[in-house]
Amino acid sequence: MITDESLTELKAYFKDIQISEEDQHHPLGNSGRVTIFPKTEQEILTVLAYANTNGHSVFIMGGGTKRGFGGMLEKADILLTLAQYTGIVEHNPGDMTITVKAGTSFQEIQTYLARYKQKIPLDPYNPKHATIGGIVSANDSGPKRLGYGSARDNVIGLRMVYPDGTLIRSGGKVVKNVAGYDMNKLFIGAMGTLGVVSQVTIKLRPIAKYESILFVSFPERNVEEIRAFAAKVLDSMIEPITLEILNPSLAGNLTNNNQYILLISFEDVKSSVHYQEDFIKKIIPDKTTLRSLSQNEAKSFWDHFYHQQPNGLINVTTTEAVLKIGVVNLDAIKILQEAELIADACHVSIEAHGGLGTGICYLTIRGATEDILSAIQHMRKSAVKHGGYAVVKHLPFSLRKEINVWGEKTAAHFLFEGIKQKIDTNIILNKNRYVGGI
Amino acid sequence: MSVLKIDTTDKHIINLAAIVGGPGSILYKTADLLAYDCDGFTIHKHLPKAVVFPKNTEEVSKLVKYCSDQGLPFLARGAGTGLSGGAIPVNGEVIISMVRMKKLISVDLENRRAVVEPGFVNLKLTNSISDRGYYYAPDPSSQYCCTIGGNVAENAGGAHCLKYGVTTNHILGLEVVLPNGEIIEIGRNGVLDEPGYDLLGILTGSEGTLGIVTKITVRLLKNPEGKQTVLAYFDKVEDGSQAVSDIISAGIVPAALEMMDKTAIEAVEAAAFPVGHPMDIEAVLLIEVDGIAAGIEEQINQILAVCKKSNVREVRAAMDEAERGRWWANRKTGFGAMGAISPDYLVQDGVIPRSKLPEVLKKIAQISEESGLRIANIFHAGDGNLHPLVLFDARKPGEIEKALEAGSLCLKACADVGGTITGEHGVGIEKREEMRFVFKDVEILAQTNIREVFNPNNLLNAGKLFPTPGRCVEIKKEINAK
């Protein structure tokens, strides 16, 4: 607990670091009694060492887009925000790798890399505000994961500040590395419960010379037909970057066409993209319609798509929830189908999309608070029935207390607890933000 | 029928035999154990206490529980092809051999996954599904005999991981027997991003020190529609390195980009699969592009142009699948080919940022000169993974030590330019000390702390991966505990 006395001490201790003492109340929680803005890695080390020694709890924030993602405590003593810890540390175009500071926004990095015709092969939500540190910590991924993988496939090195203020490097700068345990994997998706991501080194890909999106719409809402078509696409030699199904609500919002729409996108040399488009045109089922966007139009569509998901920076006027559901690939279509039924039954609106080659679905649920909670429970049951899980990615703090953000513990939970205990012995970092109250 | 019975009074042997169903499933006599005193890293040897052959997860769990309760060190072993000594029983371990757990449990092509037992051989998986147009991507050179369980332990790579990733990128789920005998399942049903710390990620490549994998869900890929391979000869190794950089910089993502130097060419041409490489060149590149057939020609033309710009002596695409096959056979048997020009060899496994290739090759040449030992270089140039092969003669006194020293210096050269000491072979016992080239004590401690969570008594595959005696680490830990 930070008292007035310790605040004075804190300020004296960190005379060069910006500290704000707004006692924030944020509807999404994950706030701090004081907010500290480190500008260097050394300052992050100092703050954590200080907090650890003095028993102060610390929450970590980047751009604030994931403020509604987990967390059962409204406030920590210190909110450590990395918003001022930004910039590119090292970029070797010939090595196709980049090292960046955690607080750098995703879009800023991509804009920089575009000059070299390169990109980070990730497609997180809200790229304008989401920081690379937050994306890695939450293992955020979008539909292009089918083609390029996720953070766990592309991050090759991390500099982590452990809760006691020790710097731990994991991985390195090379694209292939099996020296020691693959510690990167532990920190990716750990929601900041094991350390503060300070710097991220990540593999790059060339920006494809040409890209397009095909929108195949299914007017008859026959999910069996969609599934069969997707299976046919997956069994063919074409190499789509996304194979993402939108439910009618989301399709209506994004394309003014209130039907199930399958987004099949391609990124390759032009001849290859056209060849694949022609292939799809030949095999689409009767009664479906096809529309396509290419190059800048396709890019604009994606830009719009990634910014439609509610996030922690939006002023909360209506209650919104975002649910991430993972199932076996093609079962994503079943999840979307059940979302339709549950939306009706619970009197909520659900905008949903799911990757038919990844099994990862995102659902945005809007409605009255009780109805949203009920819809989340039903969707979780449905996910579990299909052998998967449901995680609440965004929800106001007051409602998070009513449900279990991460779902039931598994038999491996004691290992999670053991890992947390070893690394964050005093439990100062992002307490209760993660699975099973970790 | 042969009448087998246990011919010892050692109670542990008797009890272990009882768990696996009798004398046909255990080896314990010295003569039988000799075959298990090392793996693909043959410089250090040690006899195990016994080798047991469980048939299922329950037996593995019981064996582990028994060893754990009795304080017997133990480790798991697949085909024994590991190159860093990860399966060598340095503490006289009970070896739990996974070779009888070799079933292909299920294949689900629609969802692109298969479930296998750990003893299932890597190449068999691809062979079982190739008629349907699918394959399993990680392709270590030993894929015709190495097991997928071993691949998980070592996070095995291969020539084609440049585009498709290494084993960890293809593992969706695992059933694991923990060092206390408990069975857990992670990545259930192969669903991505299961909530919780990424145990799949930390177990893959943990070299058998965190648990024993008993079931594996792997990702399958669809065969690319087209594939084309280019062969390029360079008079100067610098030109070859430049071509590698330029191909990558041109925005091409080859499926494989391999390089061999002059000494390596001498060996592969003297061995079982010669293809007629000229003997007076300094480097040969093997570049493979795959994907949509319609896009391949453009990429091949670009590659040809890049090579020509880099003063290539000769460059051409394979005429047909047969020629492509010959080129790959020549390359993939490259390590073994060293036997044709040297009685013994030691293979190293450093990785460097691609742009440092010319600099590090020069350094390796210098190490070779100073040690008086020839060093051949075969490497996955596309991802900067070097395999310097130190040639020596173990019969000559002192040459083993000299070879080890030269190998270590090669790794130092890699670490010094921001690289690492192993890209796919693992640390094992071979590179324990070299871990210090890349990690500080606190970083090694951070890793052994994770081991303690899974393997608190360190009975499972102890003495691997981390530097020994590691005294300063141990001391620090004691200080921290106080």
Q: Indicate the pLDDT class of residue B2, thresholds 50, 70 and 90.
A: very low
pLDDT tens-digit map of B85-121: 999 999 999 999 999 999 999 999 999 999 999 999 9
pLDDT number for residue B162? 87
CATH 3.30.70.2190 in chain A, residue ranges? 210-306
| pLDDT surpasses 60 at B480 | no
> How large a percentage of chain B has pLDDT more than 90?
87
Residue B353 neighbours by CB distance under 10 Å: 21
Q: Rounded mean pLDDT of chain A?
A: 95
> How large a percentage of chain B has pLDDT more than 70?
96
Among the listed residues A150, A138, A136, A57, the one whose alpha carbon sits nearest the alpha carbon of residue A101: A136
The H or E element that residue B401 is part of is helix B399-416
Chain-chain contact of B351 with A271 (C-beta, under 8 angstroms):
no
Residues from chain A that touch B247, judged by Cβ atoms under 8 A, are none
Query: Average pLDDT, stretch A357-383?
Result: 97
Sorted by sequence, the CB contacts under 8 Å of residue B359 that are 6+ apart come out as B417
| pLDDT surpasses 60 at A130 | yes
Determine if the peptide bond prior to A248 is cis (ω within 30°). Answer: no
Among the listed residues B141, B136, B161, B124, the one whose alpha carbon sits nearest the alpha carbon of residue B81: B141
pLDDT number for residue A16? 76
Q: Indicate the pLDDT class of residue B3, thresholds 50, 70 and 90.
A: low
Cα(B311)–Cα(B308) distance, integer angstroms: 5
In contact, B348 and B367? CB cutoff 8 Å: no
Cα(B138)–Cα(B159) distance, integer angstroms: 8
In contact, A375 and A343? CB cutoff 8 Å: yes
| pLDDT surpasses 50 at B457 | yes
pLDDT number for residue B1? 40
pLDDT number for residue B469? 58
| pLDDT surpasses 50 at B394 | yes
Q: Would the CA dihedral through B462, B468, B474, B476 be positive or negative?
A: negative
Chain-chain contact of A269 with B422 (C-beta, under 8 angstroms):
no
> How large a percentage of chain A has pLDDT more than 70?
99
| Collapsed DSSP state (helix, strand, coil) of residue B44 | coil
| CATH architecture of structural domain A1-207 | 2-Layer Sandwich (3.30)
Question: Is A166 part of the contact surface with chain B (CB cutoff 8 Å)?
Answer: yes
Q: Which residue of B has its CA nearest to A407?
A: B195
Query: Average pLDDT, stretch A57-67?
Result: 97
CATH 3.30.465.10 in chain A, residue ranges? 1-207
Q: Between A and B, how many CB-CB pairs are < 8 A?
A: 249
String of DSSP letters for A259-309: SEEEEEEEEE-HHHHHHHHHHHHHHPPTT-EEEEEEHHHHHHHHHHHHT-S
Which candidate in B192, B302, B360 is best for mutational testing of the A interface (most A CBs within 10 A)? B192
Question: Is A238 part of the contact surface with chain B (CB cutoff 8 Å)?
Answer: yes
In A, residues 382-421, which contact B (CB 8 Å cutoff)?
Answer: 387-389, 391, 406-407, 410-413, 415-416, 418-419
Q: Would the CA dihedral through B48, B432, A170, A437 be positive or negative?
A: positive
Domains and CATH numbers, chain B: 11-97 (3.30.43.10), 104-222 (3.30.465.10), 224-341 (3.30.70.2190), 344-435 (3.30.70.2740), 439-481 (no CATH)
Chain-chain contact of B205 with A181 (C-beta, under 8 angstroms):
yes
Residues found in chain B: 482
pLDDT number for residue A23? 64
Q: Indicate the pLDDT class of residue A1, thresholds 50, 70 and 90.
A: low
| pLDDT surpasses 80 at B45 | yes
Specify the pTM: 0.95
pLDDT number for residue A18? 82
Residue A349 neighbours by CB distance under 10 Å: 16
| pLDDT surpasses 60 at B475 | no
Query: Average pLDDT, stretch A200-227?
Result: 95
Query: Average pLDDT, stretch A233-238?
Result: 96
String of DSSP letters for B276-300: ---TT-SEEEEEEEEE-HHHHHHHH
| pLDDT surpasses 90 at B465 | yes
Sorted by sequence, the CB contacts under 8 Å of residue B287 that are 6+ apart come out as B229, B230, B231, B232, B247, B254, B256, B257, B258, B303
pLDDT number for residue A138? 98
The H or E element that residue A250 is part of is helix A248-255
Classify domain A210-306 by CATH number.
Answer: 3.30.70.2190
Chain-chain contact of B294 with A271 (C-beta, under 8 angstroms):
yes
Chain-chain contact of B192 with A239 (C-beta, under 8 angstroms):
no
Q: Indicate the pLDDT class of residue A261, thresholds 50, 70 and 90.
A: very high
Give the one of B113, B192, B351 whose C-beta lies nearest to A177's C-beta. Answer: B351
In contact, B213 and B174? CB cutoff 8 Å: yes
